[in-house]
Structure 1
Amino acid sequence: MAALAAVGAGVLVLGDTWLVLLLAAALALVVTQCAFLGHDGAHRQMFGSARANEAAGRVFASLLCGLSYGWWMGKHTRHHQAPNTEGVDGDIRSKVLSYTEEMARSRRGAIAWLTRRQGWFFFPLLLLQGANLHVDSTTRLLSRAPVKRRWVDVALIATHWGAYLALLLVALPPGKAAAFLGVHLAVLGVAMGAAFAPNHVGMPIVPRTAKLDFLRRQVLMSRNVRGGALVHLAMGGLNFQVEHHLFPSMPRPNLRRAQPLVRAYCEAQQIPYTETSVVGAYRAVVSHLNRVGLFARSTFSCPLASQLR
């Protein structure tokens, strides 16, 4: 809250100058931390009371981030139930990126061209992810699809955007205000996407009918990222993704304490436990997307060559 207040005060002090765009980037990083705290509240990591956790989650997600808590909860719950499972996990469905060979083959036109190069376009595309999150959130709220406490989310999000736009229009002319919003959403997309993508992209994707026990379903589909306090902060504790999926209500500071126990148990059960560096994680993401993207090529298949293969 102090960081948000400091950014707001900075916008008013700097006023009509392009230097204010630096504060737009800073605001995006602060809002990303609010999103992580909303995630912690949704998993009941903060308080003993379920009601207090939900209240905190809604404040951080809907009021401070401007994203529907109810929409995200439904989506994220399905992800935890069956990570990287086709037809269940919404995180592996995308209108632009293809995470499976079947998705890549279905692409046509400009999207197919992009899919063939999607690994290299991954980080530039993250610049649009902030806006995309807000569009998906708003679309769900305006649809007839069920959203828990829809009108609470609507009221909090309306308050968020009312205060946000009022501050910008008081402090800045319309052009700089629009630039501020654009920079904020772009940096938000990169910060959020860079934290979530290494967790599962490039890990095995299984069909809906796959028979897996809970331990293997959570461990085999998740990737940990090594790093110190800065990595832990930037990823909101999601660098301990294996432990988080096994114990989703475990408070974030305790995940690193659970890691040695989880890793030792997986080794004893001969279950592969994946952990890599930050660079290694992003290299795996880009390599996987590029490999899958090759299947978007529309090439002639020779029957004789297929038999020889």
Structure 2
Amino acid sequence: MSTCEFAQAQENRNDPSHKVIIIDDKIYDVTEFHREHPGGAKVLLTHIGKDASDVFHAMHPESAYEILANYYLGDLGEADSLTKAKTSDKKAFAEDIRQLRDKLTDLGYFRSNRLYYLYKFISTLSICMASLLILYLYGQQSTTAIIISAFLLGLFWQQCGWLSHDFGHHQVFDNRPLNDIAVIFLGNFCQGFSLSWWKSKHNTHHASTNVDGHDPDISTGPVLMWHEYASANYYGNLAHSTNNNCDAHCCNATSTSAANNKNGFREGFNRFLAENVFPYQTRYYFFVIALARMSWAIQSANHVAKVGALNKSSSLRLYEMGCLAAHWALFLAVTTRWIDSLQNMILFVVLSQSFTGYMLAMVFALNHNGMPVITKEQAESMEFFEIQVVTSRNVKMGWLGTWFMGGLNYQIDHHVFPTLPRHHLATVQPMIEAICNKHQVIYHTTSFLQGTLEALNALDITQKVSRKLVMKYF
């Protein structure tokens, strides 16, 4: 491929006929491969025409080079200064992080302690067993027991999520399919979340953390909008859609009355939400996050049913769907068989789902919400590791807090080295922070309470923007 051809490919990154990436100064054509990418197509599409070296090394084993070789086009020559033109005063910072990664690899930090994960596996499942035992023994006698069982089940699902996360990042086994089998058991069957849905979403999040338009974890509108870009995009699109529909209704004499009524109702409902709900999101935030688990479960099932498995395997798709169906069948069975009344059944379902929603969402909100959101243009001029650090937040916690958060209180360090086993994060954290201080890269650490207030402040800033946009557009 000539320099001119590659330059054209980089300038026209949305051209579906030509997709190339750079890894270690080598050019690869992933036009066909991106659909079969084991980590999902979206994560590759966020780096078309870019140097993806650091994100590749952060999330792939050495064996991935064998797959890459099939798509090799040529070396990036001196004349091809496309990625090298992305100058940054943080190149030395990125190089120090790479050297630390190599050092930690040599010292064995990327190898897991299997006894630790055996303990995590057994202790996590024990929470579920305790919940079900209480429900079995006292579910027809005591409402208090039902509440305790619901809380423990919610805690199990939360802790199961963190353990699935570890396996999903291939932190435990060198054999990646073994990690995926563990995720299907812990995620699909135990927790009700699909492996394919999670990987597609979470891998993209790691590749383009807090990048507007790329990171799915900050695209939670219109329920919650975490940054000004989301609010501006939502209200701008709503105003544009409303105006276009109005013009169509006025000009199209053949439109039926039913269609007009349906469109008019939708526009009226969306406008009501835009004017009276979204500008006050801090008021309903703590009510909404109770629904987080159910929302993710629905998204997960919908993904498997409509999109299918990551590797396009029909057998994996059926297996995932079977595990999800078994999860909900078992949950409904113990609810209806071990609880005495319909009222208490509803209580158990609502509380177990809500407890999980709170325990998951309150941790997730601390990870990145309220931290800088980066435009695609800004991301072009930043090093991968720099983006991971400045968009993430660490939380000071003792051993109990670290257990509760599943090690995600070391969010910065996890994003720098996603495949580093959880039990090594505390040891590596000071090393990463020292490099950040050396190169004046902001390494943000705070308390659980202060981090929550920072996330709420981000919601407040965005809702104020929404109020201004209501005045502008409506």
Alignment identity in percent? Answer: 28
Matching residue within 140, 147, 150 for 1:24: 150
One-letter code aligned to 2:154: A
- Partner of residue 417, structure 2: 247
Moved more, 56-65 or 139-148: 139-148
Is contact 1:120-1:286 (8 Å) kept? no
Matching residue within 173, 177, 187 for 1:51: 177
Is contact 2:160-2:186 (8 Å) kept? yes
CA displacement, residues 138-161 of structure 1 (integer Å, 9 cap, x when unaligned): 221221465443222111111111
One-letter code aligned to 2:411: Q
Root mean square deviation, CA, Å: 1.6
Deviation at residue 279 of structure 1 after TM alignment? 1.0
- Partner of residue 135, structure 2: 11
- Partner of residue 221, structure 1: 391
Residue 329 of structure 2 corresponds to residue 203 of structure 1: no
Residue 131 of structure 2 corresponds to residue 2 of structure 1: no
Is contact 1:120-1:290 (8 Å) kept? no
Q: How does 1:67-82 map to 2 (within 5 A)?
A: 67-82=193-208
- Partner of residue 305, structure 1: none
Is contact 1:196-1:235 (8 Å) kept? no
Matching residue within 353, 365, 372 for 1:185: 353
Deviation at residue 111 of structure 1 after TM alignment? 4.3
Distance 1:252 1:242, change over 3 A: same
- Partner of residue 110, structure 1: 273
Instruction: Name the CA distance, whole Å, in 2 between partners of 1:255 and 1:169.
Output: 42
Is contact 2:301-2:324 (8 Å) kept? no
One-letter code aligned to 2:166: D
Deviation at residue 299 of structure 1 after TM alignment? 2.3
Distance 1:52 1:101, change over 3 A: same
Scaled by the length of structure 1, what TM-score is found? 0.93
Q: How does 1:253-264 map to 2 (within 5 A)?
A: 253-264=423-434
Is contact 1:40-1:252 (8 Å) kept? yes
Give ranges in structure 1 of 5+ residues lacking alignment. Answer: 302-309
Higher-Rg member (1/2)? 2
Distance 1:102 1:2, change over 3 A: closer
Task: Give the secondary-structure state (helix, strand or coil) at the position aligned to 2:277.
Answer: helix
Deviation at residue 93 of structure 1 after TM alignment? 0.7
CA displacement, residues 226-245 of structure 1 (integer Å, 9 cap, x when unaligned): 11012111111000001000
Matching residue within 175, 185, 207 for 2:343: 175
Task: Give the secondary-structure state (helix, strand or coil) at the position aligned to 1:98.
Answer: coil
Residue 431 of structure 2 corresponds to residue 270 of structure 1: no
Instruction: Name the CA distance, whole Å, in 2 between partners of 1:300 and 1:82.
Output: 31
Q: How many residues align?
A: 301
One-letter code aligned to 1:18: T
Instruction: Name the CA distance, whole Å, in 2 between partners of 1:267 and 1:300.
Output: 43
Give ranges in structure 2 of 5+ residues lacking alignment. Answer: 1-124, 236-270
Instruction: Name the CA distance, whole Å, in 2 between partners of 1:110 and 1:181.
Output: 28
One-letter code aligned to 1:258: V
- Partner of residue 87, structure 1: 213
Matching residue within 208, 226, 238 for 1:99: 226
Instruction: Name the CA distance, whole Å, in 1 between partners of 2:472 and 2:433.
Output: 46
CA displacement, residues 116-135 of structure 1 (integer Å, 9 cap, x when unaligned): 22234222211111111111
Is contact 2:367-2:393 (8 Å) kept? yes
Residue 299 of structure 2 corresponds to residue 299 of structure 1: no
Deviation at residue 7 of structure 1 after TM alignment? 1.2
One-letter code aligned to 1:89: D
Moved more, 278-287 or 52-61: 52-61
CA displacement, residues 161-218 of structure 1 (integer Å, 9 cap, x when unaligned): 1222111111123332222111111111000001111110011111123221111111
Is contact 1:266-1:272 (8 Å) kept? yes
Instruction: Name the CA distance, whole Å, in 2 between partners of 1:43 and 1:259.
Output: 18
- Partner of residue 302, structure 2: 139
Higher relative contact order (CA 8 A, sep 6+): 1
One-letter code aligned to 1:126: I
- Partner of residue 159, structure 1: 326
One-letter code aligned to 1:237: G
One-letter code aligned to 2:294: A
CA displacement, residues 280-299 of structure 1 (integer Å, 9 cap, x when unaligned): 10010001110111111122
Distance 1:111 1:60, change over 3 A: farther
Distance 1:273 1:49, change over 3 A: same
Deviation at residue 22 of structure 1 after TM alignment? 2.0
Distance 1:300 1:86, change over 3 A: closer
Moved more, 286-295 or 97-106: 97-106
Scaled by the length of structure 2, what TM-score is found? 0.61
Is contact 2:192-2:324 (8 Å) kept? yes
